[in-house]
Structure 1
């Protein structure tokens, strides 16, 4: 796991078997598999709906120890995330901002405009990027939660009645239509889908 996962949900076929913190779900899935259940088990990140995989070999203690290692992360990889060498000299008064120097190709008129801005080209570019990020934040958040709903629906509801219509309603921001279709699905799939989708429609409110 490359990013921290707060909670996840496991399904055996269309039945939810566990939801919560990774260790709790991992042990619940292990217990299910030990009973010899045959239905496929899928585990989803509760935020992104991406598949979560556990190494369920060994004792419960060994499983939990491996999860703890993943969650804490590897200090050697954390050290590699720095964007500026700690030993590099800095000019007087120059704050360490984690600045990364990269080539930017612009037309002469662009450079002329940037160089005429207060603080120079670098400061102006940072302000432009920050403004663009702020303007697209809501749109990006909406797209992310829609993709989470779609990812879960595709994995578990792709063969259920109304799946394609529900997908269209999701991306058309038609909450009423979406909820009407999903209401006919198996209880656990319905409830999880609606919980995810609530984040979409709250974002749109």
Structure 2
């Protein structure tokens, strides 16, 4: 199964959670509900981004799976060239398989001059700089992404609910208890999923 078909998603029918799991499983669950004559007017959310996923459920189960697979290929970025791709190519004696990824980097001449003068050359210097930045980040990048995911979900599902603006302010301020308190009167499934998106990666605690 491709990464696109297997990405985690959650579907809501109104304010109640309808299904959760891989994208293809959620899509087929909605299709099955339609076949049983149940009202399956639902919104599907990407658990990673909090964005709504538009689904085309026309045709048979096979049609849906094929269509999702084709969409995944269109949306997937080009796979970078890795060391495993060059296994069959001649390599110098003792050259290790590092699993490195080759991509284009565009810098000004002064940047290349500085990098080339560093111990180990430009590639090793860039790796050290990236590793140092990741260590000093303290999870802030991941926390910001989680807050944005919760915000997208709540904008679609809770924009008209009482306390929405206060909840959003608490979300971006990193105030976990206030965020939860502002959602106390909301439908349980909406509240539960919002908290999951916002706290799974520690976004509120890290703010």
Alignment map for 1:1-205 (pairs within 5 Å): 3=4, 5-34=6-35, 35=37, 37=39, 40-67=41-68, 69=69, 81-82=80-81, 97-100=100-103, 102-107=105-110, 111=113, 114-136=115-137, 138-199=139-200, 201=202, 204=205
Separation of aligned partners in 2, 1:82 and 1:26: 32
Separation of aligned partners in 2, 1:61 and 1:115: 53
Name stretches of at least 5 consecutive residues in structure 1 with no aligned partner.
none
Contact 1:153/1:193, CA 8 A, preserved across alignment: yes
TM-score, length basis structure 1: 0.75
Contact 1:146/1:200, CA 8 A, preserved across alignment: no
Separation of aligned partners in 2, 1:22 and 1:102: 34
Name stretches of at least 5 consecutive residues in structure 2 with no aligned partner.
none
- Let me know the Cα RMSD of the aligned residues: 3.6
TM-score, length basis structure 2: 0.74
Separation of aligned partners in 1, 2:202 and 2:121: 42
Task: Point out the structure with max Rg over C-alpha.
Answer: 1
